[in-house]
Structure 1
Amino acid sequence: MTVEFRLLGLVEVVSKGVAVPLGGSKPQTLLATLLLQRGQVVPTTRLVDVIWPHHPPETARAVIQTYVKSLRQALARHGLLEVIVTRAPGYMAQVSPGELDLEIFERLVGEGRHAATPQVAADRLEAALALWRGPALAGLEDSLLAGEAARLEQLRLTVTEERIAADLELGRQERVVTELAALVAGNPANERLRGQYMVALYRLGRQSDALATYREGRKALIDELGVDPGPELSGIHTSILRADTGLLGKPAEPVARDVMPAQLPVVPADFTGRAAQIAALAEALMPRPGSWAGPVQVVAGQGGSGKSTLAARVCRQLAASFPDGQLYAELRGTSEAPADPAEVLGRLLKALGMDTARLPVSLEERTERYRSILEGRRVLVLLDDAASASQLQPLLPGSPACAVLITARDRLGDLAGAGHLDLDVLDLEEAVELLERIVGAGRVRAEQGAARQIVEYCGRLPLAIRIVGARLATRQRWPLRLLADRLAGEHRRLDELVLADLAVRASLHLSYQGLEPGARSALRRLGYLGVPAFGRWIVAWLLDCGEEKAEELIECLVDAHLADISSVDDLGVVRYRIHDLVRIFARERAEEEDPAAVQTEAVARVLRNWLGIIDQAVADSPPDEIQWQRPAVDVLGTGTVPATPDWFEAEQPALVVGVERAASLGLHDLVCHFASARLGPSFLGVNRFEARERINAAALAAARRAGDLRGEAILLAELGHLRYLQDRFVEAQRHYTQALDVFRQLGEPHGQAVALVGLGTTCREPGRLPEASYFLEQASALVQEIGDKAGIAYVQRLAGSVRLERGDFPGAWTRLAESLDAYRQLGSRRGEGTTLRTMSLYHRAVGELDEALTTAGAALTIFRQLGDRLMTAYAVRTKAKAELRLGRVTETLEPLEWCLSVCQAMGDRWGQAISLRTLGELHLAAGRLDDAEDCLTSAIELWEEMDAPLWRARAERDLALLLEARGLGAAAADVHARALKTFFDHGAREYTELTAVGKAL
């Protein structure tokens, strides 16, 4: 039941286990009134009378509307819509059958009163009374609902009397005698209860107590009502005096109902964490009043995750709620011979008091007897290590008062009606706490770093942590660092996780042996590849099969808890993951069971398919920069994989690990090919630097091991490009220079052109404009010579931008126009967009502000169409700066702040700096001098870090204007002079422009 409306106690609404806040007593009174007349319209006048029985305020109708609105909003926040609906002349509550406790109570009472047997009557009436959580409508005594609350309380008492009558008919006097004592004390004039109490006492051999109870009742009736006991109570008194055997009733059923087994296993004293799981299971295992079946919960998880310990812990907590006993059975689901259900039932029946000689022979008869004994009893059953739903079915009680908790490695999705909890590993803090409890708090706190490493090496798997903890506990002189170092090497980690009869490897082997051959093969190849997360396409490539078959095998691994779902993206693409220790085990199995050549070829297929997806992405968008001339690679089909930026970002962890693994296997051609494939910053995502760093390092090492000089040069150039993207220009120049030297040794003009273009860009960004022109002119000659059209367009744009920075406006426009024409001939939309953005800078520099705005807008449209967030931010900033020049200060603030947030999110320091500088200009124009100073000084600091003096000087020029606005003329002149010198040193166009400004200052 996901929604509960409660009136039998405090007025409450509970949605998915969470209480809905209802406000004070008056909104609660309103809701209760509507629920009591659910499905009927309650006039507003009636609601006014109920809420304010004496002196309603003049605004009562308006206040009721407010209460209704607040209740609707509170309910809607918990997903409950259309509970209170407006129907003239008032309101009506709409609840589904089974959601209101009063409705369930009335239904169960009706079933109990019309039951065919006393047993069923007792069960139904007991279930009805279990719904009560206190006095009905508690807290609403000051409203007109007090009368309704009294009626419900009287009904509760009547039902209690009827349930006790059924219990007495079943011979359960021991069960009810204590309850009756309390009820008679609270209701001394209630003759029926007193009579039932006397019967219970008499049947228990307490005749004198029964007669004393009669005397006390007679006195109470005379004192309170002035009457003698009625014929029923007097008749019971007479029967007791005569020792009437008819009053004894029928004997209790011969089944050993007084046997209360307590078989729960011991919970380790060092049990740690799992608070959320304990709470969820405890809630789910409590029988629901009105339900026809008791709760059944399955805790599924990989071997060693602590399923059995958690189950025992939860059952211990709930034991008091199941006073008729707790049963336990080990089902040996992971062994070669799972427990036979008939054998298990035999043990359970004996625990319930059945004589061995009377045990039925067949499984069916034992199941029937088991369920008969448990009918009407509150018993908790723990079934550990289940093999299958078919093994479990005979072991499930039929009584709705019983609960069953099951543990299994398989999810048991075919067990009808069961709830499921997938148990993952511990979180980091829980894992450290478990180690601390085993080893001792002092040792762990003294070496917290080593302790965290140990539990991470254990994959935060409880079994593994218990093993290493026990080893440390018996080796008091061992520092934690020693064991952490021993666990660091994956090749020996499973060897370290062994202690006596505990071994992670053995636990995993049991799950592995239970897999079908295809799933075993999939697990081995995933382990050999080593990826932390994967989609079904990777398994399809590893096994050279279709994706549907791959998904079927993955689901086998998921069901066995050897794999789990990692994420599901917006397109419904599912990615899975395997635990680190499972991965290590799987690699061991691969190296033991499969030829190395077979596994290496499987890894190669994965890389070839990734390359196919990259080539597909590039093919859909003509290049916007000079490209590597790479040898053809045998690329396979790419299946249904979407080649989108989001897909590439999610695939990054697998890409990196896959390339590193391929490099270690000697697949250097594929690795170098992969490392030199450029998709641009937007495709590589926010974490592109770390991923490219690792890919390049693995590929460069592989090329050097193979003696591949050309591959090494390509990767040096790619490393230069990476440093350029990181705004580490000095390092970028060093790597490009190294690459250029090798390409010149090899006599390869294309490689030389790539390296020269890289050198030109890394000089242009920090403002070393003469050097940038020098390298770009050489690159231009080479790309013209080899006829690289994309290279020509790219170099012309860069050369045009450098000429623009130096103040050569005619030369800049000529180069930019050639670049734009070349990109349009190629069909490169991204290249067209980048050139249009640079053209906008040209128009702004020469004062053509309307043209600057239009051109920037055209570039922005292209980047948005391409889904390139970073270049969209650059184009937005370019457009905003043109608008600033036109005096449009107000409307540019929000777009510029968005640009800054994008650059921050993508780790682009250069973009952050230019966005900050432009924001500084905006605030300066608006007269917000403090904000302007914050932005400009932040930009200056960033350019200092990146060693970009020309751009630092441009921000300093703006800072000089700010100082002048504050009346600090001398300071402004100093800053202006420093900026002017930088412009002169770098051959920038601002030198001429600022000379005149300086004279004015």
Structure 2
Amino acid sequence: MEFRILGPLEVLAGGEPVDIGGPRREIVLASLLLDAGRVVPVTRLTDAIYGDDVPSTARVQTQICISMLRRLLAAHGRPDAIATRSGGYALQVQPGVLDLDLHDESLAAARRSRDAHRLREAVRHYRAALSLWRGSTLEEIGSRMVRAAAGHLDERRMAVWEECIELELQIGGDRDLVAELTGLVMRYPLRERLRGQLMLALYRSDRQAEALEVYRSGRRTMIDELGLEPNSWLRELEYGILNSDVTLRVPRSAPPGPDPVVVRPPAPSARPPALKMLPTDIGDFTGRAGYVHAVEQTFRGHPGRTAVPVVVVVGKPGVGKTTLAVHVAHQLAAEYPDGQFFADLHGRAAGRADPADVLERFLYVLGVPYSAIPQGPGERSELYRGLLSRRRTLILLDNVEDESQVMPLLPGDPGSVVLVTSQTRLSGIPGAVHIELEVFDPDQSLELLARIVGRERIGAEPEAAAALAGLCGQLPLALRIAGARLSSRPKWWIAHLVDRLQDEVSRLDELRHGGMEIRASLSLSYRSVDPAAQRLFRLLGALDFPAFSGWVAVTLLDVPAREAQELLDGLADAQLVETTGTGLGVHSRYRFQDLIRVFARECLAQESPEEREVALKRVLGALSYLSAAAHRRVNGRDRLQLAPAAGRWPLPEHLVEQLVDAPLEWFEQERASIVAGVRQAALAGLDDICWDLALHSVTIFVTSTQLDDWRETHRFGLAAARRAGNQPAAAALLYSVGLVAMLDQRFADARQELADAAALFRAGGDQHGESHAMGELVSADPIEGDLDAAERRYERALRAARRAGDPARTAHVLHDMARVQVQVDGAYTERAMATLDEALELSRRGGSRRLEAQVLHRIGLIHLAQGRPGDAVACFNGVLGAVRELGDPIGEAYALHGLDQRR
């Protein structure tokens, strides 16, 4: 079989064409042939077939294409041609059956002959390589990814063509080349090397005027289309032709012998004119003054330096890295008069740039003829560094993926500086300064909108403009797109676009205009991570958590913690999630930028409803499991003795120990996620998880007095317990609702809810629960001033607690009873001290560190009042140890205040 990709895709068997099948199979085969002998990941094949709209069945459909291609190849004697490898497939081709391989063999022979000065022989090999082309590479394949790869091969073809013509000019083939070069220049008017070769061929054919006209028409084209003058070599060539430079001529016929005289275009001058390759600066550049100053200070701040300063601007897609870098480069251009270089490395795109190709372009604009550019990347780097030595230049490398794209492009002389943009920290570049670019603040967002849309329009709808900035996530690219849409529709109200953006499902569809699109930028980052990380990204989109920790990834994928952390770090490196807070290790926190969350939820559609439901159950079940574990660390065993809810998802115990080591800190860190989790469990019909999570969340609400969150979670939790017909859970939640009513000082509501809870506990035969409810019911009395009634009720509550055999509950009643005894007897009561001594012993037996701290604190206060500061200090130090172990900053403040009082 023969395979041909240097033109339309063709497969031949015995010299006859083979029908490959439909377009999908053609795309898959083309992708495999472009990387023949190497593994092509399945994700790249699905992206090649479907582009940005990858359906949930993409992997299956790709496997079907592979199966059909295998069957086709097997029918022609190649059953093992497509091999399955880890993560993808590889097409094994035999020597001499792929036209690209034949081309490369002829090209290698041509260059060997050229280097040995056998120029005629080299030309024959070059022409043999060029004869294999039947048109543009894979010209009928419409896949964007295939077209990007094919474009690189087409560029190689042109470079080979130019090399061949260079040699033919050296051996005197001027007249024969004029027609060919004229056609090539018409097809590729911006290729300066071809234009210069045509000028030489015409000049050597005694057609000086035509040669000069070729230059002048090319100059007009370049200025009109690029805003650039021709490069220095072309300008010097025009000057030589204009002045009839005899060094540009060669003999009419090739000289004899194996080593003909080689006449090259003029060598580059010792110091070429200033090279200005920077893209145009942004006219409405907004804000970022601090970032601009930081870059400028880094470049200017080390006058005696010996290393090249490198600044890496890092940030998520659409945050404005390129805009900032280009603006700063223009600001600094005057300080680097020998040139400003620019290259887009296309880091995460399919057409990632090879540093060797960038070096070829940089060397060419520095005045090195293509024929004099070394083939090896190392030699190109050496020549590049040599040409930049003792020069002051600024090199801007945009959209870099990793260090390997940067290192060959670093100059050697510290007079030059390098500015890089990347979505990833490039920590492998020695001494590089990283600047993390964040989204705009609200004022900067409104300023950018005003510059695009007009201040009057923004001023007429300030609230709508602020809402628009919020829906754009304060992301500069999204704001620019929204502003462009409004600018192109002067009759639209800003509120109209706000309404269109409210719907998350279509928000990314609305945020595109002209060539600008949020989804495309995010898709590049998404496709750059491996399939497991992509799946984690999708499933994270199912959660309503405002932020999340690494344990979430463990439960979403049901994988070991180390593997989950690596995948999460991969998403962070790709700027698909961002770190937040100050936690380290297992306490590290991550979150989505608003628009990236919308994109994640779009991608979530690739998961089946069943997979989404299972993943959500695991995460909310794990959150419930962790909340129960943290609750036990604070309060000892579950005082209400409820059976564990169905649906709790156990995590590895060593991970649980690490996470809830300081339980109140963990609760505070996860508080917003717990509130969101209760709500999401209720909406998903996960009633057991809903009430269980709500009930254990009281631990943090009691400490931090977050009464709104307490009320909201218990509204959902109580409804869930009633739907599930779980009377003990409903009683426990009613009891907790009574507690929050007490803190609200709604005593009538508190008594009613606590009485209802006690009745439910009693009906279920739960003496423990009843004693809790009755004990709290008493607490309403002393606050309203009826101390005698309170003492009688506490006595009844104490008897109930002792009957229930609950040491922690008994200690709690004794603690509250002592508070009343102090109010009745005064600070010097021995009765209260005896009550608290028993409460302390029982709290320790019940394992409740929080209650132990509360009892110790009250004993310390009595010691202070009785003039025993030494005893008080011992108590307050005991409180301090307990609350620090729990991670309770409010308790710590009480302890420190007590220690301060003894002075």
Instruction: Please say if residues 304 and 504 of structure 1, whose CA atoms lie closer than 8 Å, have aligned partners that are also in contact.
Output: yes
Match of 2:783 in 1: 765
Aligned mates of 2:861, 2:535 — CA distance in 1: 58
SS for the counterpart of 1:630 is: coil
Q: How does 1:464-863 map to 2 (within 5 A)?
A: 464-569=478-583, 573-590=587-604, 592-620=605-633, 623=636, 626-631=639-644, 633=648, 635-638=650-653, 639=655, 640-644=658-662, 645-677=664-696, 680=699, 686=704, 688-703=706-721, 706=724, 708=726, 710-725=728-743, 727=745, 729=747, 731-733=749-751, 735-737=753-755, 739-740=757-758, 749-769=767-787, 772=790, 776=794, 779-780=797-798, 782-802=800-820, 805-806=823-824, 819-820=839-840, 822-823=842-843, 825-826=845-846, 828=848, 830-835=850-855, 849-850=866-867, 857=873, 859-863=875-879
How far 1:380 moved relative to its partner? 1.5
SS for the counterpart of 1:336 is: coil
Asked if residue 378 in structure 1 is aligned to residue 392 in structure 2, the reply is yes
Asked if residue 307 in structure 1 is aligned to residue 325 in structure 2, the reply is no
For residues 231-278 of structure 1, the C-alpha deviation after alignment (integer angstroms, 9 at most, x for no partner) is xxxxxxxxxxxxxxxxxxxxx974373422222112222211111111
Aligned mates of 1:708, 1:445 — CA distance in 2: 55
SS for the counterpart of 1:421 is: strand
Q: How does 1:960-979 map to 2 (within 5 A)?
A: none
Aligned mates of 1:393, 1:709 — CA distance in 2: 67
Structure exhibiting the larger radius of gyration computed from Cα positions: 1
Q: How does 1:160-309 map to 2 (within 5 A)?
A: 254-255=268-269, 257-286=271-300, 288-309=302-323
For residues 849-884 of structure 1, the C-alpha deviation after alignment (integer angstroms, 9 at most, x for no partner) is 357x6775554233122025545655777x79xxxx
How far 1:523 moved relative to its partner? 1.9
The letter of the residue matching 2:580 is S
Q: 1:734 to 1:322 in 2, by over 3 A?
A: farther
Instruction: Please say if residues 539 and 612 of structure 2, whose CA atoms lie closer than 8 Å, have aligned partners that are also in contact.
Output: yes
Aligned residues: 626
Instruction: Please say if residues 541 and 606 of structure 1, whose CA atoms lie closer than 8 Å, have aligned partners that are also in contact.
Output: yes
Instruction: Please say if residues 631 and 696 of structure 2, whose CA atoms lie closer than 8 Å, have aligned partners that are also in contact.
Output: no
How far 1:679 moved relative to its partner? 6.8
Instruction: Please say if residues 319 and 476 of structure 2, whose CA atoms lie closer than 8 Å, have aligned partners that are also in contact.
Output: yes
How far 1:721 moved relative to its partner? 2.0
For residues 212-238 of structure 1, the C-alpha deviation after alignment (integer angstroms, 9 at most, x for no partner) is xxxxxxxxxxxxxxxxxxxxxxxxxxx
How far 1:475 moved relative to its partner? 3.6
Asked if residue 411 in structure 1 is aligned to residue 425 in structure 2, the reply is yes
Aligned mates of 1:433, 1:414 — CA distance in 2: 37
Instruction: Please say if residues 551 and 586 of structure 2, whose CA atoms lie closer than 8 Å, have aligned partners that are also in contact.
Output: no
Instruction: Using structure 2 for the length normalisation, give the TM-score.
Output: 0.62
Runs of 5+ in structure 2 lacking a partner?
A: 1-265
For residues 512-538 of structure 1, the C-alpha deviation after alignment (integer angstroms, 9 at most, x for no partner) is 000012222222232222433333333
SS for the counterpart of 2:590 is: strand
How far 1:843 moved relative to its partner? 8.6
Instruction: Please say if residues 614 and 679 of structure 1, whose CA atoms lie closer than 8 Å, have aligned partners that are also in contact.
Output: no
Aligned mates of 1:802, 1:264 — CA distance in 2: 78
The letter of the residue matching 1:651 is E
Aligned mates of 1:872, 1:390 — CA distance in 2: 51
How far 1:307 moved relative to its partner? 0.8
658-667 or 612-621: bigger deviation: 612-621
How far 1:426 moved relative to its partner? 1.7
The letter of the residue matching 1:757 is G
Aligned mates of 1:515, 1:571 — CA distance in 2: 22
The letter of the residue matching 1:323 is P
Instruction: Please say if residues 256 and 353 of structure 1, whose CA atoms lie closer than 8 Å, have aligned partners that are also in contact.
Output: no
How far 1:560 moved relative to its partner? 1.1
Aligned mates of 2:339, 2:866 — CA distance in 1: 86
Match of 1:983 in 2: none
Instruction: Please say if residues 834 and 859 of structure 1, whose CA atoms lie closer than 8 Å, have aligned partners that are also in contact.
Output: no
For residues 530-577 of structure 1, the C-alpha deviation after alignment (integer angstroms, 9 at most, x for no partner) is 433333333223322333222222221222112233233489953333
Instruction: Please say if residues 530 and 583 of structure 1, whose CA atoms lie closer than 8 Å, have aligned partners that are also in contact.
Output: no
Q: 1:727 to 1:414 in 2, by over 3 A?
A: farther
Q: 1:629 to 1:518 in 2, by over 3 A?
A: same
SS for the counterpart of 2:615 is: helix
The letter of the residue matching 1:695 is T
Q: How does 1:295-444 map to 2 (within 5 A)?
A: 295-355=309-369, 359-444=373-458
SS for the counterpart of 2:643 is: coil
How far 1:806 moved relative to its partner? 4.9
How far 1:479 moved relative to its partner? 3.8
The letter of the residue matching 1:864 is L
Aligned mates of 1:496, 1:443 — CA distance in 2: 20
RMSD between superposed Cα atoms in Å: 3.8
Q: 1:628 to 1:719 in 2, by over 3 A?
A: farther
For residues 432-467 of structure 1, the C-alpha deviation after alignment (integer angstroms, 9 at most, x for no partner) is 221222222233334434333322332211111112
Instruction: Please say if residues 625 and 791 of structure 1, whose CA atoms lie closer than 8 Å, have aligned partners that are also in contact.
Output: no
Aligned mates of 1:856, 1:585 — CA distance in 2: 58
Aligned mates of 2:858, 2:306 — CA distance in 1: 73
Aligned mates of 2:832, 2:448 — CA distance in 1: 67
How far 1:837 moved relative to its partner? 5.2
Q: 1:670 to 1:334 in 2, by over 3 A?
A: same
For residues 825-867 of structure 1, the C-alpha deviation after alignment (integer angstroms, 9 at most, x for no partner) is 43545445544555677899xxx9357x677555423312202
Runs of 5+ in structure 1 lacking a partner?
A: 1-251, 881-890, 896-1001
Aligned mates of 2:412, 2:624 — CA distance in 1: 58
363-372 or 788-797: bigger deviation: 363-372
Instruction: Using structure 1 for the length normalisation, give the TM-score.
Output: 0.56
User: Percentage identity across aligned positions?
Assistant: 37
The letter of the residue matching 2:465 is A
For residues 628-685 of structure 1, the C-alpha deviation after alignment (integer angstroms, 9 at most, x for no partner) is 523365533241324213333233333333343333322221221122126745x976
Instruction: Please say if residues 663 and 671 of structure 1, whose CA atoms lie closer than 8 Å, have aligned partners that are also in contact.
Output: yes
Aligned mates of 1:837, 1:408 — CA distance in 2: 54
Instruction: Please say if residues 856 and 879 of structure 2, whose CA atoms lie closer than 8 Å, have aligned partners that are also in contact.
Output: no
Q: 1:840 to 1:860 in 2, by over 3 A?
A: closer
Q: Which has the higher contact order (CA 8 A, sep 6+)?
A: 2
Aligned mates of 1:687, 1:502 — CA distance in 2: 47
